Chain A
Amino acid sequence: MKSFAYASPTTEGEALSLLAEPGEIEILAGGTDLVGLMKKMIITPDLVVNILDIPSLKTIEQLDNGAIAIGAAVTLDEVLAHPYLDPYPAIGQAIEGISSMQLQCQGTIGGEVLQRPQCWYFRGGRGLLAAGGSAVEDGDSRYHAIFGNDGAAKFVSASRIAPALIALNATARVIGPVATGGSPVGLNGEDASERFFPIEQLFRIPRHEGERESVLARGEFLTHIILPDRRNFASATYEVRQGAGPDFPLAAAAASLRIEGGIVREGEIVLGQVAPTPWISRAAVAALIGQPVNEQTAEAAGLAAVTAARPLSHNAYKVQLAKTAVKRAILRAAGQETGGF
């Protein structure tokens, strides 16, 4: 690892003043992703700011309106065990997919959502866009995007939990300097502001090597994920995986559906591991609205989800997997799991 300075602030305000220091700065949560990247010198910060000692980021609270605020530094095992999240199985199912006691105990929900892509060209030191996308196009695109891949970015968004959070309409709370445009907020009298936005807006498809896959500006960080009260929705995550170990899915989908009188009234379906961002499929939801959930309607929604897919040279197989993930997430949400894992 390259040498770096280290600080572990104990308040949000203190963290913000550290993030305003010059040089390259990285936020450290559980470290399960970041420390590996620093060891490989893919990321070489001058300053590392550990956010695990900030108590306000480590709680799960129920708000007056029934929403649940999850601190970004809450570990995955704590999220999994917390009764407030029982009504939202899509989240727990995604965390269970990370089949490693160590990674669940060490990894945080904020770090999971903001983990860097697994693209082997990126991890091999060739940059997030890997020669403007040509390394992937001319190389091995087995695990790359089938949607949103017409620009230089061909990697897939790595988060397993983000599709579930988006399907459940979660909001991100991000704090940063006033210049980032949030509403001013009194944090230790610092130059600080906070903004709240739908969590899908945390992600973007970078267009050039200077951009990351998250919209967080310099000096900003994620403090909370707020889940609205969606107890009247049924939800599930389904991942298609190569094996049962701690490895990434090949394709995944999360569904949240409001089913009344046996008919789907509204919902969200979000695919994972198929695009540089979590991929919201309005087409899949549209195919399902007004229908009962059964094998045929779930299959039709799966088909609708992948009609616009544009695979690269080695990943056409992912279209079928994505279709199946959508179908099974819908059936699982509706309590009609049909085996297979």
Chain B
Amino acid sequence: MGRLEAYPTLLQTNHLGQANPVAKKTHVSTTVNNEPAEFLCEPRESLLEVLRDTLKLTGAKEGCNNGNCGACTVLLNDVPVNSCLVLGVEAEGASIETVEGMACEGHLHPLQQCFLEGAALQCGICTPGFLVTAKALLDKNPTPSEHDIRFNLANNLCRCTGYDKIVKAVQEAAKELAAK
């Protein structure tokens, strides 16, 4: 055994190809929307699957499941990631923020309010991803140009509204946040 002892998942999952092909679950402690969270998951489960199926946070959406559409975007240690390409086990010790964490004390985040008022959504599947990515952008750059907004939202696809209303909503939200 020796050095494998430090790696309980190795022992459990029997990666040498014998017997049980299903990996035992790993215990993960993390923080989701500023609250401590714990879950069990197999190494092959994505963070998106864990959020939706285990933690029942269904805000992040499964669109393409391969990093193209951005519908599953969440913040992992303050930066936006496609949660379909992150393993659930990678959340150990991390801090995760999902769209569910954006509203504060019953008040929508200015981005959410501006999306609503500016009709920047139709079917809504892409919206959580846009909101989280736009929040990451405004956290980093509170006064983005239209180009900055379009550039940074390029990995978020919308197949119904088109992008103009989304870009305008982000511009409005930036103004509102600046005025606060």
Contacts and interface: CB of A to CB of B under 8 A. Distances in A.
Contact of A7 (B10, B14, B17, B65): B10
Say what secondary structure dominates the interface of chain B: mixed
B154 A106 contact: no
A106 to B, nearest CB: 4
B89 A6 contact: yes
Contact of B86 (A2, A4, A14, A35): A35
Contacts of A55: none
Contact of B9 (A5, A36, A77): A5
Interface stretch (B19-27, B29-37, B103-111, B165-173): B19-27
A50 B43 CA distance: 11
A179 interface: no
A6 B43 contact: yes
A52 interface: yes
A38 B12 CA distance: 20
B132 to A, nearest CB: 10
A102 interface: yes
Interface in B4-63: 4, 6-7, 9-10, 12-17, 21-23, 26, 42-44, 46
Nearest to B73: A102
Nearest to B85: A35
B154 A5 contact: no
Given A4-B44, A6-B26, A7-B7, A46 B154 contact: no
Contacts, number: 122
A183 interface: no
A1 B17 CA distance: 16
A21 interface: yes
Nearest to A243: B154
Contacts of B151: 99, 244
Contact of A106 (B15, B21, B86, B89): B86
A39 B73 contact: no
B155 A5 contact: no
B152 A101 contact: yes
Interface of A: 1-8, 14, 17-18, 21-23, 28, 30-32, 35-36, 38-40, 46-48, 50, 52, 75, 77, 99-103, 105-106, 244-246
Interface of B: 3-4, 6-7, 9-10, 12-17, 21-23, 26, 42-44, 46, 65-68, 70, 73, 76, 79-82, 84-87, 89-90, 92, 133, 136-137, 150-155
17 contacts: A1-B44, A4-B43, A5-B12, A5-B15, A6-B26, A6-B87, A6-B89, A31-B86, A36-B67, A40-B66, A46-B16, A99-B154, A101-B153, A102-B133, A105-B80, A106-B76, A245-B154
